[in-house]
Amino acid sequence: GQNIDQPTEMTATEGAIVQINCTYQTSGFNGLFWYQQHAGEAPTFLSYNVLDGLEEKGRFSSFLSRSKGYSYLLLKELQMKDSASYLCAVRDSNYQLIWGAGTKLIIKP
C-alpha cells in the first residue's frame, strides 16, 4: 500500500528553527509537495521537490532524498503566524497526490 508518515504534532519557540519530517512509500514518484493549512482554512502550496536536494524559498526550505523516501520542511525565524498544519503529499506513478495526515505546528512565544 501507499503510505505517507509525518509527526502528528510539534511545538517550537518563536524565532527558532523547526524541521518537519515526512517519509513515504508510494507506487512510483513524480514529485513531493508541502502545503500549509491554517485552522479552518484551505491548504495553500508551499514547495515542490522532484530532484534530490534542498529548495529554498525565503524562511522556508524543503529537502528531498528519493533513495531514502524522505523529505523535510525547514522553517526558520519562526513567527506566530506559522502556527498551522503542514501537509506532505507525494505524486505517484498515476500522477495522483497521496497525502499525509499533516503535522500540527504550535509556536510558543
Partner 1 sequence: DAEITQSPRHKITETGRQVTLACHQTWNHNNMFWYRQDLGHGLRLIHYSYGVQDTNKGEVSDGYSVSRSNTEDLPLTLESAASSQTSVYFCASSETEETGELFFGEGSRLTVL
Q: Kindly provide the residue ranges of all beta strands, DSSP E only, lying in the chain, ordered along the sequence.
A: 3-5, 9-13, 18-25, 32-37, 44-49, 53-57, 60-65, 70-75, 84-91, 97-99, 103-108
Near partner 1 by CB under 8 A: residue from 12, 24, 36, 43: 43
| Per CB under 8 A, 84 contacts partner 1 | no
3-state secondary structure 2-28: CEEECCCEEEEECCCCEEEEEEEECCC
Near partner 1 by CB under 8 A: residue from 18, 72, 91, 103: 91
| Per CB under 8 A, 89 contacts partner 1 | yes
Amino acid at 11: T
Near partner 1 by CB under 8 A: residue from 102, 103, 105, 107: 102
Applying CB under 8 A, the site for partner 1 has a residue count of 21
Near partner 1 by CB under 8 A: residue from 9, 14, 41, 77: 41
Question: Would you tell me which residues interact with partner 1 (CB under 8 A)?
Answer: 4, 31, 33, 35, 41-45, 48, 87, 89, 91, 95-102
